[in-house]
Structure 1
Amino acid sequence: MKRLALLAATAALVLPATLPAQTAATAPAPAAADAPTFSAAAVRAHVEFLAEDLLKGRDTGSEGHEIAARYVASQFDGLGLKPAGDNGSWLQRIGFQKTERARTPGTLTVTGPAGSKSFTHAGDVLIGMNAAEPKLDVSAPLVFVGYGLENARLGLNDYAGLDVKGKIVVTLRGYPKGLPSEEGAHLSATKGKIAEAHGAIGMLSIGTLQSMKARPWNRMVQFADEPDFTWVSPEGVPFDAAPGIRVGASLDDAAAQAVFAGAPTSIAAIRKQADKAGGKPKGFALKSTAQIQVESVSERVTSPNVVAILPGSDPKLKDEYVVLSAHLDHIGISPAKPGDKPDTDRINNGALDNGAGIATMLEVARAMAQSPNKPRRSIVFLASTGEEKGLLGADYYARHPTVPGKQIVGNVDLDMPLLLYPFTDVIAFGADHSTLGPIVAKAVAPMGIKLAADPMPQETIFVRSDHYMFVKQGVPAVFLATGYANGGEKAWGEFLSGAYHHPGDDMTQKIDWDAGARFAEANYRIARVMTDSDTPPQWYKADFFGDLFAPEAAKAPKQ
């Protein structure tokens, strides 16, 4: 939901050898006179092309996305960057497995003390598909496992004393109140792996009072029939984080009541306990079983990342890489609704999400390439695919980088800069975990821009954009967004409830292109500190994510 931009190079950051070494957090930001000029018209021109109706929303695997990829590659080529895709090309071609539902809707049947009740997909249940089993029919006893989390550091052990081998676990959505939001969001995303490790074969998810308020059931049902995507390895194996979990579903209230029929604790009491600070409902075996049946059809499609490199100028640092990423894909064309007129606009152009992020990255690449003082470290410019399908293109690149993975030292992600108002502050999601926090704050301060705290921790943005795929490979990363000050909160609220993932995200919006140029300068300043400081970005000592994903990496004391 946010984006970063970077601007042209500056001599002020290329330090004489006689000066004392500087860390990335203490190195000075570029002076105003050193920052290149960014053209609002140039940003607009890129977005105009990428948001054109002829590209039909740049869906992953579509012709429109392929055209957009060639456009980005041609821009990189014209700047004199080096191709960093497959076999000396600009494109890193990724195979995807696309799985869709068969004609017969899936069902979940619960059998317990109250008898048997069946629920149909997109009614009171949302049933997941399993491409490895296109005709899926699984029955097993049910066990409630609380939130279904385990982490000794955070005092979580929801499987203690429970036998779930060969069974289907029932979990609450989310994580306990009071748990740090980013750590909680990360653990929530690992529930399948935790369940698999304990021998479970399936997982059912039930809402808490908090999660149902944040994401009502009717909103979840809107996406019930979207296809599933996963990337396919170079060896032809589809990626599955927890292949032992054969079945999965989310349950609305009627289905949840059936699951908990005859249970020692009602679902209402469990939700009440979970709604308290620190509430961790204990698990227990349920008196019901579930049968899940669903049929699916899978096919293979391809879609490329576009990758370029600007080589670093410092002989000692050029083999270290800063990655600037922005997703090129969007969500394509919405299906027709009953009552739509023939001329109803159904193309999701994705002007801000994420044409604006790609435009920002291209202008940063231009400024960096044309600077008389090239960055000391090398920069990888990554226009990723499949972000809207689950951060897939970035995940694939982070696991299959076209440069040595251990030499990637930092990432900034440019995703959906909200260029609808004259912003005066920025949010750096992930800033609390590494020296990228003070890097951002000091880099943008000369522009009169402040670094603000995350104003929406409940949305767990840190784990919901492409930069997080690099975090999981041990790379310090942030996702920069325009902030809530000076009209930002209203603009964000109106966009997310209106044009976001809707045909309204097009060039008819009142986009503030001057804000785009200003955002680019802010990001350029950040990138120059990352590329030019003697010390690369570092995780903080005792940070949860740094210790988890980069336990051997050098750490910095938290400022």
Structure 2
Amino acid sequence: MIISRLAALALLATPIAITAEPPADSSFSADRFRATVGFLADDLLKGRDTGSEGYEIAARYVASRFAELGLKPGGDDGGWYQRITFQQTDFAETPGQVTITGPGGASQSWTHGTDVLVGLSANEPHLDLSAPLVFVGYGIENKLLGINDYAGLDVKGKIVVTLRGFPQGMPSEEAAHAAATKAQAAQAHGAIGMLSVGTNLTMKTRPWAQMVHFADEPAFAWVGADGKAYDEAPGIRITAALNEPAAQALFAGAPQKLAAIRAMADKAGGRPKGFALKTRARIRSDSVTRRVTSPNIIAILPGSDPKLKAEYVVLSAHLDHIGVTPARPGDKPETDRINNGALDNGAGIATMLEVARAAATAPDKPRRSLIFLASTAEEKGLLGADYYARHPGVPIRAIVGNVDLDMPLLLYPFTDVTAFGADHSTLGPIVAKAVEPMGITLSPDPMPAQTIFVRSDHYMFVKQGVPAVFLATGFANGGDKHWGAFLNGAYHHPDDDMNQKILWDQGARFSEANYRIMRAMADADVPPRWYAKDFFGDTFAPKAEKAKRP
């Protein structure tokens, strides 16, 4: 799962909500759930990294389980796998560099990993780019939000300078989407590069030291039919993030000082206006690439209704994890460096397989068809789900809904669930009604500032116009404390293994809840629908039939 450890800071005390729990459906087995997670989290799979042998073993295991259930293959050429080619881009031996030339002609330079972090270009391994600079505020342009930070600015052939983050007071999920599309906005106006500087809030939320810690990680992208690594904004040829000394150099001689800009950004709704800077930047970067392949694993259970079986409900969970942590100086020979990923996301895959078993063996089959997607490269940027949503084996408009399962925390008896994104479509009430007979409640997003809705696999379906939610165990009954401890401890760490005190009966319970949700989606006369005038529905499915918001 891709989530900041800082999310743990957002966990607040939550009232304990204890309800009577009816006996779990006997078709959902705690022992079988544990066996699945145990296999996927075994040291022999070495953390299931994308492109690794361990991941390939896990993929074959999941495919064999699908076959055992009599499901139909939904991958390429009638098989279980949708094999994807990925490009891995790493920094070359020569470090990247940013040079800022002031209005008087004097220059200052910084190398990557100091006070600048130079981005990697997937399709241009050798870059040496120089251009004038234009400050564009937050760099957001979105008609539905009524924001155009480029109004009156000429950035064609120039490098834009943006503030990181988004204006305070905006709805967090809508704002997160707008912030994630800054490169596309810059490209649309003819810019060729993009530099970012922090606001007081973003520098506090994500300190520079934390950014530097991840600075040398490789970049991944899936490779398209044209043989090129996919890039949503290829016109933005290079990017870089700047720390304080370099950021101050950008604004030398500017009509407004950076401190004043940040003060305005601190205010609710504060949106600093852009202007041409009196400086220019030269950015150099060298990279090397290699290509690996890794498959999504896809199975289909055909629907039973002659008409509705042409519509599909997708249950997804990522199969990959982060592999083996490189040895550090001082590590002892017995140091555990394998990131087993028991909860992240062996537990999500186990849930999906339990739901698939229940659906395949039910005497009354679901009316709509079900697609079970075990995705790859989630930890590399939601890439496997993105590729599938763009290249599904069925028409994308035939996919009517998606529920994603990522890292259910099974360390406490959960009494509620959170469906991130439930406010945007009828999936919210569908989930609430489906789990109510189990004594489980649907709780609102407990950490909206973390914008989880736009940071998990289901969002790749949202971007293709499909109503979707990411389902997680909730914060009631002590869940908030367990989430906080996990995110600051075992998350993305070798301790996420079978030695944790995982409550396997809660895995069976979570599976039953998801089966009920899937059946509700599959059997309803009307498929899930976006709410009218919802930002995401209007952005990605403007012509789809909408539901009235309750």
TM-score range for the pair, normalised by the shorter chain length: over 0.9
> Does the 8 Å CA contact 1:2/1:417 hold for their aligned counterparts?
no
Amino acid across the alignment from 2:526: T
| 2:137 is aligned with 1:179 | no
Segments of structure 2 that go 5 or more residues without pairing to the other structure are 4-20
> Does the 8 Å CA contact 1:144/1:284 hold for their aligned counterparts?
yes
In 1: Cα distance, 2:35 partner to 2:111 partner: 47
Q: Determine the structure 1 residue equivalent to 2:11.
A: none
| 2:101 is aligned with 1:111 | yes
| 2:35 is aligned with 1:45 | yes
Helix, strand or coil at the partner of 1:509: coil
In 2: Cα distance, 1:2 partner to 1:245 partner: 25
In 1: Cα distance, 2:286 partner to 2:301 partner: 47
| 2:119 is aligned with 1:128 | yes
- Taking a change above 3 Å as real, the CA distance of residues 412 and 379 of structure 1, as seen in their structure-2 partners, is same
Match of 2:221 among 230, 242, 245: 230
Displacement after TM superposition at 1:220 (Å): 1.5
Displacement after TM superposition at 1:2 (Å): 9.3
In 2: Cα distance, 1:318 partner to 1:33 partner: 32
In 2: Cα distance, 1:41 partner to 1:252 partner: 51
Q: Determine the structure 2 residue equivalent to 1:523.
A: 514
> Does the 8 Å CA contact 1:2/1:480 hold for their aligned counterparts?
no
Q: Determine the structure 2 residue equivalent to 1:24.
A: none
> Does the 8 Å CA contact 1:2/1:415 hold for their aligned counterparts?
no
Between stretches 113-122 and 466-475, larger displacement belongs to: 113-122
Equivalent residue runs for 1:25-424 within 5 Å: 37-113=27-103, 115-424=106-415
In 2: Cα distance, 1:63 partner to 1:368 partner: 30
Q: Determine the structure 1 residue equivalent to 2:16.
A: none
Helix, strand or coil at the partner of 2:175: helix
In 2: Cα distance, 1:214 partner to 1:34 partner: 41
Report % sequence identity: 73
- Taking a change above 3 Å as real, the CA distance of residues 33 and 353 of structure 1, as seen in their structure-2 partners, is closer
> Does the 8 Å CA contact 1:322/1:409 hold for their aligned counterparts?
yes
Helix, strand or coil at the partner of 1:539: coil
Q: Determine the structure 1 residue equivalent to 2:9.
A: none
Displacement after TM superposition at 1:33 (Å): 8.9
Helix, strand or coil at the partner of 1:72: helix
Displacement after TM superposition at 1:213 (Å): 2.1
Displacement after TM superposition at 1:234 (Å): 3.2
In 1: Cα distance, 2:30 partner to 2:257 partner: 58
Match of 1:495 among 486, 490, 500: 486
In 1: Cα distance, 2:319 partner to 2:278 partner: 48
Q: Once the two structures are superposed, what CA deviation does each residue of 1:281-302 show, in whole Å capped at 9, x if it has no partner?
A: 1111111111111110112211
> Does the 8 Å CA contact 1:323/1:410 hold for their aligned counterparts?
yes
Higher relative contact order (CA 8 A, sep 6+): 1
Amino acid across the alignment from 2:206: R
Q: Once the two structures are superposed, what CA deviation does each residue of 1:216-273 show, in whole Å capped at 9, x if it has no partner?
A: 2211212111111111123423211000000101111122111122222222221121
Displacement after TM superposition at 1:153 (Å): 2.5
In 2: Cα distance, 1:404 partner to 1:296 partner: 37
Amino acid across the alignment from 2:470: F
Amino acid across the alignment from 1:293: R
Helix, strand or coil at the partner of 1:387: coil
Displacement after TM superposition at 1:59 (Å): 0.7
Between stretches 133-142 and 231-240, larger displacement belongs to: 231-240
In 1: Cα distance, 2:443 partner to 2:24 partner: 25
Displacement after TM superposition at 1:520 (Å): 1.1
In 1: Cα distance, 2:534 partner to 2:326 partner: 44
Displacement after TM superposition at 1:131 (Å): 2.6
Amino acid across the alignment from 2:39: F
Helix, strand or coil at the partner of 1:77: helix
Amino acid across the alignment from 1:271: R
Displacement after TM superposition at 1:34 (Å): 10
- Taking a change above 3 Å as real, the CA distance of residues 74 and 40 of structure 1, as seen in their structure-2 partners, is same
Helix, strand or coil at the partner of 1:287: strand
Displacement after TM superposition at 1:172 (Å): 0.9
In 1: Cα distance, 2:108 partner to 2:498 partner: 49
> Does the 8 Å CA contact 2:117/2:215 hold for their aligned counterparts?
yes
> Does the 8 Å CA contact 1:328/1:385 hold for their aligned counterparts?
yes
Amino acid across the alignment from 1:334: T
Q: Once the two structures are superposed, what CA deviation does each residue of 1:452-505 show, in whole Å capped at 9, x if it has no partner?
A: 111111111000000000001000000011111111111111111111111111
Displacement after TM superposition at 1:369 (Å): 0.7
Displacement after TM superposition at 1:158 (Å): 0.4
Helix, strand or coil at the partner of 2:169: coil
Between stretches 192-201 and 333-342, larger displacement belongs to: 333-342
Q: TM-score scaled to structure 2, two decimals?
A: 0.94
In 1: Cα distance, 2:396 partner to 2:302 partner: 16
Q: Determine the structure 2 residue equivalent to 1:23.
A: none
**Runs of 4+ deviating beyond 4 Å:** 31-36
Amino acid across the alignment from 1:69: A
Amino acid across the alignment from 2:49: D
| 2:455 is aligned with 1:464 | yes
Q: TM-score scaled to structure 1, two decimals?
A: 0.93
In 1: Cα distance, 2:436 partner to 2:479 partner: 18
Segments of structure 1 that go 5 or more residues without pairing to the other structure are 4-30
Q: Once the two structures are superposed, what CA deviation does each residue of 1:502-526 show, in whole Å capped at 9, x if it has no partner?
A: 1111111111112111111111111
In 1: Cα distance, 2:476 partner to 2:124 partner: 50
> Does the 8 Å CA contact 1:128/1:247 hold for their aligned counterparts?
yes
Displacement after TM superposition at 1:155 (Å): 2.1
In 1: Cα distance, 2:2 partner to 2:250 partner: 39
In 1: Cα distance, 2:143 partner to 2:80 partner: 44
Q: Once the two structures are superposed, what CA deviation does each residue of 1:319-342 show, in whole Å capped at 9, x if it has no partner?
A: 100000000011111111121112
Amino acid across the alignment from 1:55: L
Helix, strand or coil at the partner of 2:310: coil
> Does the 8 Å CA contact 1:2/1:482 hold for their aligned counterparts?
no
In 2: Cα distance, 1:176 partner to 1:329 partner: 34
Q: Once the two structures are superposed, what CA deviation does each residue of 1:337-357 show, in whole Å capped at 9, x if it has no partner?
A: 121112211111111111110
| 2:468 is aligned with 1:477 | yes
